[in-house]
Amino acid sequence: MLRVRHLEISDLITAVDLADGRRLPVRRDEVVRQLRDSGDEPAARIVAGLPADRDGTLDPDAVDRLLISVHTELQRLSEELRIGNRLVHLLGPLFTAIRADGGHPGPYRLVDIGCGLGYLVRWLAATGALGPDVELIGVDLNAALVGEADRLARAEGLDCRFVHGNAFELPEAATVYVSTGVLHHFGAAALAGFFRTQAASPALAFCHFDIAATSLAPIGARVFHRARMRHPLGRHDGVVSARRAHDDETLLRAAAVPGMRALLYEPRGLSNPFCTTLRPILGVRPQLEPPLRQALGRASRRLVGPEHLGPVRGEATR
Ligand SMILES: C[S@@+](CC[C@H](N)C(=O)[O-])C[C@H]1O[C@@H](n2cnc3c(N)ncnc32)[C@H](O)[C@@H]1O
């Protein structure tokens, strides 16, 4: 029987040399084959319809235009889900805790990893929600998205910047690393490496939002992406993202890296699956946990550590 793996088209139609960031050619028939092998014939058909040259290499400009248009639709979802406000609900108290911890005078820096079109960074710059002492930077592996994020920020006259780079190399130092909708792109093993890299840096915390792996997530994603997204690629990847979302256990175990206290906000059992669409996994330097909880007030009851999982039940799997 065919093993069904969840692959996102957007991960397959672009390729980058991780050593130097150079764009690599992608063969259309190779992507179609991968999708067929994964048991996803509808996705294979979407890719088979993308423009390619006579050698069968996907047209890089057409791919860029497509990804920018899909990410523009994604930005509308972020606006609707009020991602900026959700992030500030936690990051506001986190920066309060960092400012209160006398050892770390500002200015501070927030780096959004896998920023796409940089909606979150541009929203934070436009609202000034984190305060004037927080510099705002977005990083993404896709140079076309970074270029468009930069163009939008200039057009909007915003004080923020965007950098082409890999989440596992961290081209920009940060006080706090954040992301939205990125963690499910990494398998469980890579996820631990992602958090370890940040813990090994001078950063004081990370706060990564991704789709909550509830039983309602795949159906919710199907309804929402069908209603809000026009291109079949965006609809497809939106639903697959929800299927790939990491569960509580995987997130908490992966984030429990040396030097950081792992904390999950709104875990299963403390959240309403109808309301919790995205929620964050945090890592904070241990001395910051008490002031963070104090600054969060009642909301800190929704923040749990790995002890919430109970005794170890073996390694987390996906
Ligand atoms: C689903 S999109 C989310 C974009 C944006 N954060 C948002 O919420 O609209 C995932 C993003 O992660 C980026 N990405 C994937 N792997 C990456 C890596 N290793 N380093 C940096 N960015 C990465 C992709 O290029 C893409 O822009």
Q: Tell me, yes or no, whether 230 lies in a domain.
A: yes
Choice among 94-108, 173-187, 266-280, 294-308 with the minimum mean pLDDT? 266-280
**pLDDT class of 315 with cuts at 50, 70, 90:** very low
pLDDT of residue 228: 74
Q: Tell me, yes or no, whether 169 lies in a domain.
A: yes
Q: Is 10 left (phi over 0), alpha (psi -120 to 50) or beta?
A: alpha
**C-alpha to C-alpha distance for 36 and 3, rounded to whole angstroms:** 10
User: Mean pLDDT, to the nearest integer, of 206-214?
Assistant: 91
Number of structural domains found in the chain: 2
For ligand 1, atom 27, name the residue with the nearest CA.
116
**38 and 98, same structural domain?**
no
Residues whose beta carbon lies within 6 Å of some atom of ligand 1: 74, 78, 113-116, 119, 140-142, 145, 166-168, 180-182, 185
Q: Tell me, yes or no, whether 318 lies in a domain.
A: no
For ligand 1, atom 3, name the residue with the nearest CA.
181
| Token pair 């920066």: residue | 95
pLDDT of residue 197: 96
Distance 55 CA to ligand 1 centre (A): 29
For ligand 1, atom 1, name the residue with the nearest CA.
181
Q: Which atom of ligand 1 is nearest to the CA of 142?
A: 25
pLDDT digits (tens, 9 = 90+) for 217-260: 777 777 777 777 789 999 999 889 988 999 999 999 999 999 99
Judged against a pLDDT cut of 60, whether residue 132 lies above it is answered with yes
Distance 192 CA to ligand 1 centre (A): 17
**C-alpha to C-alpha distance for 252 and 316, rounded to whole angstroms:** 10
Beta bridge partners of 27: 57
Q: Tell me, yes or no, whether 3 lies in a domain.
A: no
List, in order, residues 6 or more apart from 114 with CB less than 8 Å away.
139, 140, 141, 167, 179, 181, 182, 185
For ligand 1, atom 15, name the residue with the nearest CA.
114
Q: Which amino acid is at 109?
A: R
Q: Tell me, yes or no, whether 20 lies in a domain.
A: yes
Choice among 21-30, 43-52, 96-105, 142-151 with the minimum mean pLDDT? 96-105
Distance 68 CA to ligand 1 centre (A): 12
**53 and 72, same structural domain?**
no
- In CATH, what number is assigned to the domain containing residue 90? 3.40.50.150
Q: Which residue has the higher pLDDT, 9 or 238?
A: 9
Q: Which residue has the higher pLDDT, 49 or 21?
A: 49
**218 and 89, same structural domain?**
yes
**14 and 162, same structural domain?**
no
Q: Tell me, yes or no, whether 2 lies in a domain.
A: no
Distance 176 CA to ligand 1 centre (A): 17
Judged against a pLDDT cut of 70, whether residue 273 lies above it is answered with no
pLDDT of residue 80: 87
pLDDT of residue 311: 61
**241 and 105, same structural domain?**
yes
**164 and 18, same structural domain?**
no
**158 and 28, same structural domain?**
no
**pLDDT class of 275 with cuts at 50, 70, 90:** low
**150 and 117, same structural domain?**
yes
Judged against a pLDDT cut of 50, whether residue 182 lies above it is answered with yes
**Structural domain harbouring 224:** 68-308
Q: Tell me, yes or no, whether 154 lies in a domain.
A: yes
Q: Tell me, yes or no, whether 18 lies in a domain.
A: yes
**73 and 53, same structural domain?**
no
**281 and 135, same structural domain?**
yes
Distance 111 CA to ligand 1 centre (A): 13
**pLDDT class of 81 with cuts at 50, 70, 90:** confident
Q: Which atom of ligand 1 is nearest to the CA of 74?
A: 9
For ligand 1, atom 23, name the residue with the nearest CA.
114
**82 and 103, same structural domain?**
yes
pLDDT digits (tens, 9 = 90+) for 48-78: 999 999 999 999 999 999 999 999 999 998 9
Distance 297 CA to ligand 1 centre (A): 32
Q: Which atom of ligand 1 is nearest to the CA of 118?
A: 5
**213 and 138, same structural domain?**
yes
Distance 222 CA to ligand 1 centre (A): 20
> Percent of the chain beyond pLDDT 90?
75
**C-alpha to C-alpha distance for 112 and 261, rounded to whole angstroms:** 20
